[in-house]
Amino acid sequence: MIFAGILAGGVGSRMNIADMPKQFLDLGNKPIVIHTLEKFLLCERVDEIYIGVHPSWVSHMEALVVKYITHQREKIHIVEGGTDRNSTIMNIVDMIEKEYGQSKEHYIITHDSVRPFVSSRIIEENIDAVIKYKACDTVVSATDTIVVSEDALKIADIPVRSKMYQGQTPQSFQITLLKTLYEDLSDEEKEILTDACKIALVRNQDVYLVKGEVSNMKLTTITDYNIAQAMVGGNLID
C-alpha cells in the first residue's frame, strides 16, 4: 500500500503574524495544510493519508477536515506528532502498522504540510522511485553558487555547483526499511539527525533523486507567504 505522511507537527512560526502554527494560516480561501492535503487526495495511487499534528492542535485539524474536505474523508487519519520531525514520522508509521500491519509492500510518502504547491508529477514520481529503490528524496538543482563557511566569517569551500542540489519534500521510503534504520540510531543520533534521508545515508542506504520544482516551495517566512498568496490571488501581508 501507498501511504502519505503529511508533517504538520510544528508549533513555532518565523512568520510571527498569527497566534497559530503557519500550516493553519489561510492561503487564499483555505488553510495551507488543506491545500497540501488536497494534492494527495487527487492522487489515486495514494491509499491512505496520515497527518501528524501537535497534540494541542489535533482537534483544530479535525475541524478543518470536516469543514473543507467533502470527498474521500475516510482516507484521512490524524495522528499526534512527536517532539521532532522524525518522531512525528515514526508516530505515523506506528499507526499505519497498527491499522494495516507490517509489510515490505508498504511505502510512505512524507511531505511538509507547508509545501502546498507540490505537483501531481512529483508525487507520482516519488511513488515510482520508492517502489523501485526503497528510498528517495525530492531535489532541485542549485542555481546559485554554494559557499561553505565553518565559522560564518570566511569561506572554507566553494563546491562544484553542478553537484549541488537543494532538498525539498516528499521524501519517500519503504516503511520496514525506514523503521529499521530509525531503530538502529542511538538517542544522540536521533537528536542530531533531523532529516529522514540523512538517517539512511549514515547507515549506508542509497537514496535516489526525484526531480523537484522551484514552485514546490516551503512557506517559512513572510516573504514566502506573500509569494504564495500572490500565486493563489490571496491578500498580502505588509
Q: Quote the number of domains for the chain.
A: 1
In a domain, 188, yes or no: yes
pTM for the predicted model, two decimal places: 0.94
In a domain, 26, yes or no: yes
Q: What is the CATH number of the domain that holds 165?
A: 3.90.550.10
pLDDT for 215 equals: 97
Which residue range is the domain that position 51 belongs to?
Answer: 2-232
In a domain, 238, yes or no: no
Rounded distance, CA 173 to CA 16, Å? 33
In a domain, 44, yes or no: yes
In a domain, 167, yes or no: yes
pLDDT digits (tens, 9 = 90+) for 138-196: 999 999 999 999 999 999 999 999 999 999 999 999 999 999 999 999 888 988 888 99
In a domain, 237, yes or no: no
pLDDT for 80 equals: 96
Rounded distance, CA 44 to CA 51, Å? 18
In a domain, 206, yes or no: yes
pLDDT digits (tens, 9 = 90+) for 37-81: 999 999 999 999 999 999 999 999 999 999 999 999 999 999 999
CA nearest 109: which of 101, 118, 117? 118
In a domain, 60, yes or no: yes
Confidence of residue 95 (pLDDT cuts 50, 70, 90): very high
